[in-house]
Structure 1
């Protein structure tokens, strides 16, 4: 009898200890600032604390006694760390989205009994909604900074005054008048002209008179960028869109040109696949970044330019007809320099002043040289004239630019196909002569292609055909 009483007292003492331990554990769980979520080995919810309710917005009565599989199916959670712990039998940490769209960081810990069997999963919960928001803001800030830096580099290059368009010819006067007239509207402009005629200058003039120099003027040369990179340059890309892509992504030129002007130089070299995407962007005033899903709207004036005959390209099915007519809202044609010879003396004097200022010279040009330069046909147009004037100035041994400094290609007017020559042969002789003489002048087939206004592959094909590759 005495032994039974002693055993009862011992049990009672142990029970009191357990109760005290339970109260202590209860107080710890309840007072924890982090959320606590306890489930059994089958995924049935046994306990959640007050902090869990505060963080998630889910009341204990909504989940207690329910299996997590059912709660996930009901939309309470996008996934369950408890179920992952039961499956893997190890600590698991995941980002979880709960039904009110809060983002939480949850870590599930498996609890094993003395036999090694799983009997509880205790989950620690932290609210990371604010952290996710801050990360998103940081990414947006980095993207905005990159955008501003790119805009700034473009704006620094944007310096155009009326003095930069040097002309007195009626043809150029008409172009300038038209450019000024359409500057205040956002109609698409297509500028056509040979290489070196000043297409970019006209585009900048339209921008300056309309949008103003405080707005971005963004230029891209469609012929200078590889096809596989051109789409991401135009439309930008999301982080991880392809190998080597920036983690934060990159805004495209359409975004950078927002509220300004996007100048698409050498539009005739745009690949057919991109022509489709460009047409949609122009028509809808919206696009999607490479690797993205979000539609981005933009408001920018489109000015395109080319030295190619796009109407002919349309007939040859190498340029989309619908894009051609979309670009042809306001066409502007720039005459080659040989058709406005009255501009040559003005341009010569402009370049003389320009290089005198740049190099600290005080050089002058004699009238006979100007007359000779006026006679020349200038296949490379204003750009070629500028290069020739610079060459004569830097090589002149005295302060005077005389006839002996005029390049042989300009002095030699003797070439012409012989009479009675078949047209095909005359064309070949002329092509061979122009290729050969321009290579003598510039020493680069790439430069020859630029001067003659044709692409490099055409030049190289003709060089091989006429046996000029050894030069």
Structure 2
């Protein structure tokens, strides 16, 4: 603000000899006029206003006293364009405003003080509105440390009203406030932490200067609670990371970590010790590259990435060590593999022991076969060959069932040995010294089956014996009856068989009275009786009566480990029968092992008997096999690739699958989608097998 804005131009020059009374009369007519006492207009001696007249009257000055004695000499000349002082304190009572050497008006200190006060109030009002509108809490104190200002944000976070805060010591608001120190030192401070309302704030503190001296201090707060929480979380994460590093490095087992692309991220010291491979040789390299360079024979991490599940394998490393590696995938929030963590354990000695055990197992099998042949040649040939785990369980079950008198239903494909199982039960049961009668329900015509089973009375039908005939049930009294192919029994006879099972009574054909029988029934079938019940081809009640203890004998293709033993068993049997001493070539045993044997043990026995009979030499060679075995497709990968090692078979099959997928779908992207693997995996494998995708597609 300029003096020109507040100048009072209502002035009058009076002579230096004018009296108080003269001046009082002038001012009585014009109270707002300023009288300038001067000898001439350029030499002002003082300023006289009603204020000075009032002072003269208060002093009881005579009316004729010269006015210059009471005129104010506390004045200062200024130009119209000069700015008003910031404060009226220390200012003259009047300012004479002169322009071009001529007095144009007067500005009183009272007038300036009033304007400064009004301006300060306006500024403070605007400043208060501004400070209340900002988010950051703001507080100001005076030189005594009392709060002279705070905005609404600070009042809100402190939980108090502004009125409750103003005039109170700053220590009541902040227990650890250092704002007083700013007044004492006069130096601003920044980034200092304080607590208020359960939150953490960063505060900037600044002294307030007025008239060159410190009259207070102000502080602006910034809420850093979230940043503080993040900082604490980062510190916590850092500590956990250090702890995990320590755990990984202290692990006795080797640990190998790759990313989702198979690139090595880290290995621990135990891995270096276990494998002899330095971490600097593998970190940063992909597993595909390391396998190609011969660091490993294969990678479990690559398997995990391809199959998206945990994998284990025995791995050989370039240092000659053999290790067991188990890879585990780590999935991110999108379900993609972000890491593969592999546990590595040295199994070199264990692997050597395993190979040694394998060799010993081969020897043991050979010795078992030789001993078995010796026993058989001595006339003590066993009736049952048990080699597989499944058949050991079946054999144990047969021995348990032999001790009880329950009905048994034996199920299995044709030729699996259901009759031998029934023999085993009877020969080890309390009825072993009693009759054991076997009958095939499918081998006897339907019209004769009833009379064979139940017998008949004299004259029961045309051609019947005059004295009648006892049936199989009567003949086997006290013993065991084996009903083979029970599924072929006519429905009419099923009802009579049910009565035998329930009441232990039979009735001959043509008789009118029943006969008590004490028999145990063993039944066998190669059909699904439950399906026959659903179709109405087999009685439901009879099925449940027979199925008290169901036994399922697995087909030979599910117990291939027994094939060689069976082959030797039958070879010795028929050598003894026909007076030969023939042997089987190893290649023949391989072919027998690979064949699926739809006729099961019976078909194998017939095949061995035929080879013993028709082979000209003393050694049965592949050429002596039946044609169906010589041209039979090999199982598994051998059929796919014609033999070789397991690794080469798998690689060959994988190459064919990739080639076919690429030809079928036209691009590596579509082929990868169809195969359920990543497109990068398809490209990498195509490169490995030398397949050019550009010949088939454009990607």
TM-score using structure 2 length: 0.36
Please tell me whether residue 167 in structure 1 is matched to residue 386 in structure 2: yes
Runs of 5+ in structure 2 lacking a partner?
1-378, 636-699
- Per-residue deviation at 1:162? 8.1
Instruction: Find the aligned partners of 2:400 and 2:564 in 1 and give their Cα distance.
Output: 28
1:363 maps onto 2:579 in alignment = no
Q: Which residue of 2 aligns with 1:105?
A: none
Contact 2:438 2:483 (8 Å CA) reproduced? yes
Indicate which of 496, 521, 546 corresponds to 1:277. Answer: 496
Instruction: Give the SS at the match of 1:263.
Output: strand
1:406 is displaced (CA, Å) by: 1.3
Matched, 1:193 2:403: no
Once the two structures are superposed, the pairs formed by residues 291-440 of structure 1 within 5 Å of their partners are 291-414=510-633
1:264 pairs with 2:494: no
1:211, CA displacement in angstroms? 3.1
Deviations 1:115-172 (A, max 9, x none): xxxxxxxxxxxxxxxxxxxxxxxxxxxxxxxxxxxxxxxxxxxxx9881110211111
Out of 436, 456, 471, the position equivalent to 1:252 is: 471
Deviation at 1:361, TM superposition (A): 0.5
- Give the match's secondary structure for 2:382: helix
- Pick closer, same or farther for the CA change 1:204–1:408 going to 2, 3 Å: same
Q: 461, 467, 474: which is aligned to 1:242? A: 461
State how far apart, in whole Å, the 1-side matches of 2:471 and 2:381 are.
Answer: 30
TM-score by length of 1: 0.53
The structural deviation recorded for 1:213 is: 3.6
Asked if 2 retains the 8 angstrom alpha-carbon contact of 1:211 and 1:261, the reply is no
Inter-partner Cα distance in structure 1 for 2:507 and 2:632: 55
Q: In the TM superposition, what is the alpha-carbon distance from 1:388 to its structure 2 partner?
A: 0.6
SS at match of 2:482: strand
Relative to structure 2, which stretch is displaced further, 203-212 or 363-372? 203-212
More helix by share: 1
User: Structure 1 pair 414/202, CA: closer, same or farther in 2 (3 Å)?
Assistant: closer
CA distance in 1, matches of 2:449, 2:443: 9
2:422 is the counterpart of 1:203? yes
Structure-2 separation of matches of 1:283 and 1:364: 52
CA contact (8 A) 2:442 2:488 kept: yes
Aligned to 1:290: 509
Q: How far did residue 412 of structure 1 move?
A: 1.4
Helix, strand or coil for the counterpart of 1:190? strand
CA 332–352 in structure 1, closer or farther in 2 if over 3 Å, else same: same
* SS of corresponding position for 1:163: coil
Q: Higher RCO, 1 or 2 (CA under 8 Å, sep at least 6)?
A: 1
Asked whether the 8 Å contact 2:432–2:479 carries over to 1, the reply is no
Change (3 A) 1:337 1:414: closer
Number of matched pairs: 257
CA deviations on 1:18-61 (whole Å, 9 max, x unpaired) are xxxxxxxxxxxxxxxxxxxxxxxxxxxxxxxxxxxxxxxxxxxx
- What is the Cα deviation at residue 294 of structure 1? 2.1
Please tell me whether the aligned partners of residues 314 and 321 of structure 1 are also in contact (alpha carbons under 8 angstroms): yes
> Does the Cα contact within 8 Å between 2:585 and 2:619 map onto a contact in 1?
yes
| Structure with the higher strand share, 1 or 2 | 2
Cα separation, 2, equivalents of 1:174 and 1:332: 11
Structure 1 alignment gaps of length 5 or more: 1-159, 417-471
Counterpart residue number, 1:181: 400
Could you give the per-residue CA deviations for residues 306-360 of structure 1, whole angstroms, max 9, x where no partner exists?
0000011111110011100000101110000000001100000011101111111
Partner secondary structure for residue 494 of structure 2: helix
Q: Give the CA deviation at 1:280.
A: 1.2
Query: How many Å apart are 1:203 and its aligned residue?
Result: 0.5
> For the structure 1 residues 173 and 336, does the alpha-carbon distance in structure 2 shift closer, same or farther, using more than 3 Å as the test?
same
Q: Deviations over 1:281-309 (max 9, x none)?
A: 21011011001112100111110000000
Tell which structure's C-alpha radius of gyration is larger. Answer: 2
What is the alpha-carbon distance in structure 2 between the residues aligned to residue 327 and residue 161 of structure 1? 34
2: distance between equivalents of 1:290 and 1:161?
44
The one-character-per-residue Cα deviations of 1:89-125 (angstroms, maximum 9, x if unpaired) are: xxxxxxxxxxxxxxxxxxxxxxxxxxxxxxxxxxxxx
SS in structure 2 opposite 1:177? helix
- After the TM superposition, which segments of 4 or more aligned residues of structure 1 sit over 2 Å from their partners? 413-416
Name which of structure 1's ranges 258-267 and 160-169 shifts more when overlaid on structure 2.
160-169
Tell whether the 8 Å contact from 1:396 to 1:405 is kept in structure 2 after alignment. Answer: yes
Deviation at 1:413, TM superposition (A): 3.2
Deviation at 1:207, TM superposition (A): 0.5
CA change 1:172–1:162 in 2 (3 A) is farther
